[in-house]
């Protein structure tokens, strides 16, 4: 049986980080059959995190972030063509150019795209951007290099904050609007969001929280010139970036019968997709940002993660399971981890900070701009976030993995008094924010309401 | 040659910054910015940086060739 699984036809839809790493891992696992990778962008797999950092700072070119291969996956790359449908009974992927690809096993790694400004006419104004792809980053970097009078960033999530940080570093005036009470509040909760707001303002960002943008204005030639805000004020700017979060690329699966929706494609811990009846498939696998999977450390809630590390880890598990018989399959149990660099600070997170009721500052302090914050849920450590303290993160990962009690026991030499004072974690309902969450708990807890549902399109 | 740094793993030891300063720079206290495309005259330094990384966060290799089809 195992011999059969190492042969046959595997199709991977999605040619970004998860698709590439899965293709490599399939060969590593001994897959000798035919391997086809479909990607809608015309470029080979490239890395996205540098796009909002090095590229916007003008230090590296947008077309230079191609991902290195660990090994040549000897794949047939179908780049620049979109998958438009799936026939799970006939076992074929339908492509937008009318061709179709038969498969024995399929991996879906179609990821996400940027949520666009909801008014299409305003979104089409010259100077209005989103940031997700290499082309987006290239065009935006060019605009920033031209020295606009002011940049408007809509949404104070990680991407919006990194864009604002890059603008300030380039000496550009920037306004950030966020419907929630502070930047990053949806991901990190109340306390660290106040530090984030202070970092924005100390670095000269015109930060407007608790407001929404009601309209984008253009001149007669269709060039963006400013925006109206819900508090009646107006922002004059030449460039606008809508950093409103991500939309999962699932529309092509609408008629497939798979459990694909706005929150992603539901799969089991072994990356096998569920169909719409909740029955697990055995030949369709999911990995990366488009997946939604159960995690035992977080109450078996379905997690949707937009994390680089998750794409890599989940792709490897999916690849292993695609070529392994049932009892040898592995679960994807990696602890969510991500990072962001903004305003000269390195923010790293492990666990799920939104899965929390209280926090303590276990090391360092807000004033020092250097700290480790530990998140707890019902007396158990569920997450930690470090600011310029990355070396401490592994210790807290261990606490999460072992379900250590919260607040954590004394351990660090620089333990402040605050480590004994749990305060509410203050994670708001994501519905009230401009920026979509990069981690979404999409299950239910009896005492919490943290579901995210976004309209499609 | 291309590189990618697994920044979930990076802990800011900055060995790469000393060994290949044109390719790796600290941004603030411990944030790392790097150039993903490695020119030939930097390849040896980048290999040393990858070898010296205490958490082995630097991956180097060739890019997927674009003539896929």
* Residue A81 near chain B (CB below 8 Å): no
Give the closest-approach CA distance of A232 to chain B in angstroms.
37
Contacts of A226 (CB under 8 A, 6+ apart): A152, A216, A217, A234, A235, A236, A237
Amino acid A417: pLDDT: 84
Residue A333 lies in a domain: no
Amino acid A456: pLDDT: 62
With a CB-CB cutoff of 8 Å, which residues 112-171 of chain A face chain B? none
Collect the ranges in chain A with pLDDT lower than 50: 1-2
Amino acid A65: pLDDT: 97
pLDDT at residue B67 tops 70 = no
Residue A451 lies in a domain: no
What pairing do the DSSP bridges indicate for beta strands A76-79 and B24-27? unpaired
Tell me the pLDDT tens digit for each residue of A271-325: 999 999 999 999 999 999 999 999 989 988 899 999 999 999 999 999 999 999 9
Residue A12 lies in a domain: yes
Q: Among A328, A343, A377, which residue terminates a domain? A: A328
What is the residue-averaged pLDDT of chain B?
93
Query: How far apart are alpha carbons A152 and A166 in whole angstroms?
Result: 13
Q: Per DSSP, what are the bridge partners of residue B61?
A: B2
A106 in the same domain as A86: yes
Task: Quote the tokens at residue B53.
Answer: 């990384």
Predicted TM-score (pTM) of the model is 0.94
A168 in the same domain as A49: no
Amino acid A135: pLDDT: 98
Residue B66 lies in a domain: no
% of chain A with per-residue pLDDT over 90: 87
Q: Per DSSP, what are the bridge partners of residue A261?
A: A264
Q: Of the candidates A67, A72, A391, which has its C-beta nearest B4's C-beta?
A: A67
Query: H or E segment at A17?
Result: helix A17-28
**Is there a contact between A345 and B28 if contact means CB atoms under 8 Å apart?**
yes
Task: Quote the tokens at residue A162.
Answer: 């990194």
Q: Among A228, A244, A260, which residue terminates a domain? A: A244
Residue A432 lies in a domain: no
Tell me the pLDDT tens digit for each residue of A109-168: 999 999 999 999 999 999 999 999 999 999 999 999 999 999 999 999 999 999 999 999
A88 in the same domain as A206: no
Query: How far apart are alpha carbons A324 and A335 in whole angstroms?
Result: 23
Query: H or E segment at B19?
Result: helix B15-19
Amino acid A185: pLDDT: 95
A48 in the same domain as A18: yes
A179 in the same domain as A96: no
For A85, the 3-state DSSP assignment is: strand
Query: H or E segment at A388?
Result: none
Angle subtended at Cα A339 by Cα A311 and Cα A372, rounded to the nearest 5 degrees: 130
Which of A146-170 are b and which e, b meaning 16 or more Cβ less than 10 Å from the residue's Cβ? eebebbbbbbbbbbbbbbbbbbbbb
Residue B64 lies in a domain: no
A158 in the same domain as A133: yes
Residue A454 lies in a domain: no
CATH of the domain at A192: 3.50.50.60
**Is there a contact between A79 and B36 if contact means CB atoms under 8 Å apart?**
no
Residue B43 lies in a domain: no
With a CB-CB cutoff of 8 Å, which residues 348-377 of chain A face chain B? 348, 370
Region of residue B25 (phi > 0: left; psi between -120 and 50: alpha; otherwise: beta): beta
A34 in the same domain as A136: no
A94 in the same domain as A6: yes
Residue B44 lies in a domain: no
Number of domains in chain B: 1
Amino acid A259: pLDDT: 96
Residue A343 lies in a domain: no
Cβ–Cβ < 8 Å for A272, A107: no
Residue B67 lies in a domain: no
**Best interface-test mutation with A: which of B64, B65, B66, B69 has the largest number of A CBs within 10 A?**
B64
- Give the HSE-up count for residue A133: Cα atoms under 13 Å, Cβ half-sphere: 17
Residue A339 lies in a domain: no
**Is there a contact between B61 and A348 if contact means CB atoms under 8 Å apart?**
no
A183 in the same domain as A104: no
Q: Is the dihedral of CA A83, A87, A91, A92 positive or negative?
A: negative
Domain of residue B22 covers 2-37+50-58
Tell me what the mean pLDDT of segment B16-44 comes to: 96
Sort out which chain B residues have CB atoms less than 8 A from A343's CB and list them.
Answer: 28
| Number of C-beta neighbours around residue A202 at 10 A | 10
Number of domains in chain A: 3
- Tokens 């990696």 — which residue? A334
A379 in the same domain as A279: no
**Is there a contact between A44 and B34 if contact means CB atoms under 8 Å apart?**
no
Residue B42 lies in a domain: no
**Is there a contact between B37 and A309 if contact means CB atoms under 8 Å apart?**
no
Residue A95 lies in a domain: yes
Residue B65 lies in a domain: no
Sort out which chain B residues have CB atoms less than 8 A from A54's CB and list them.
Answer: 33-36
Domain of residue A16 covers 2-113+247-328
A206 in the same domain as A278: no
């Amino acid at each position: 049986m195992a011999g059969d699984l190492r042969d046959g036809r595997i199709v991977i839809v999605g040619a970004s980080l998860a698709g590439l790493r899965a293709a490599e891992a399939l060969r590593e696992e001994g897959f000798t059959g035919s391997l086809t990778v479909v990607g809608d962008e015309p470029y080979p797999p490239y890395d996205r995190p540098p796009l909002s950092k090095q590229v916007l700072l003008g230090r590296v070119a947008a077309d230079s972030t191609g991902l290195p291969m660990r090994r040549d996956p000897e794949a047939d790359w179908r780049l620049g063509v979109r998958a438009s449908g799936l026939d799970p009974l006939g076992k074929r992927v339908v492509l937008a150019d009318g061709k179709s690809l038969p498969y024995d096993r399929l991996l879906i790694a179609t990821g996400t795209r940027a949520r666009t400004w909801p008014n299409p006419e305003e979104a089409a104004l010259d100077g209005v951007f989103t940031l997700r792809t290499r082309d987006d980053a290239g065009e935006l970097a060019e605009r920033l290099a031209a020295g606009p009078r002011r940049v408007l960033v809509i949404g104070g999530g990680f991407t919006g904050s990194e864009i604002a940080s890059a603008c300030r570093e380039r000496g550009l005036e920037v306004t950030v609007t966020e419907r929630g009470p502070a930047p990053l509040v949806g991901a990190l909760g109340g306390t660290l969001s106040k530090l984030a707001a202070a970092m924005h303002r100390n670095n000269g960002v015109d930060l407007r929280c608790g407001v929404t943008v009601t309209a984008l204005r253009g001149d007669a030639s269709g060039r963006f010139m400013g925006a109206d805000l819900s508090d009646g004020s107006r922002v004059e700017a030449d460039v606008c970036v809508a950093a409103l979060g991500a939309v999962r690329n699932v529309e092509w699966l609408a008629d497939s019968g798979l459990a694909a929706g706005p929150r992603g494609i539901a799969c089991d811990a072994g990356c096998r997709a569920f169909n719409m009846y909740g029955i697990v498939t055995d030949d369709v696998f999911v990995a990366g940002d488009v997946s939604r999977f159960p995690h035992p450390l977080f109450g078996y809630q379905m997690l949707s993660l937009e994390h680089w590390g998750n794409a890599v880890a989940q792709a490897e598990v999916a690849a292993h399971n695609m070529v392994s018989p049932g009892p040898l399959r592995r679960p994807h149990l990696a602890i969510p981890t991500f990072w962001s660099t903004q305003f000269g600070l390195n923010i790293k997170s492990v666990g799920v900070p939104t899965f929390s009721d209280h926090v303590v500052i276990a090391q360092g302090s807000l004033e020092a701009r250097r700290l480790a914050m530990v998140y707890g849920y019902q007396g158990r450590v569920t997450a930690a976030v470090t600011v310029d303290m990355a070396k401490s993160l592994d210790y807290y990962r261990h606490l999460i993995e072992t379900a250590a009690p919260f607040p954590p026991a004394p351990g660090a030499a620089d333990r402040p008094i605050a480590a004994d004072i749990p305060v509410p974690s203050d994670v708001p309902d994501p519905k009230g924010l401009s920026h979509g969450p990069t981690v979404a708990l999409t299950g239910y807890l009896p005492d919490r309401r943290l579901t995210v549902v976004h309209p499609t399109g | 040659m291309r590189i990618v740094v697994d920044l979930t793993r990076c802990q800011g030891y900055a060995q790469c910054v000393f060994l290949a300063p044109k390719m790796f720079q600290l941004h603030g206290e411990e944030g790392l910015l790097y150039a993903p495309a490695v020119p030939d005259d930097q390849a040896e330094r980048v290999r040393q940086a990858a070898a010296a990384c205490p958490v082995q966060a630097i991956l180097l290799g060739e890019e997927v060739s674009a003539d896929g089809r």
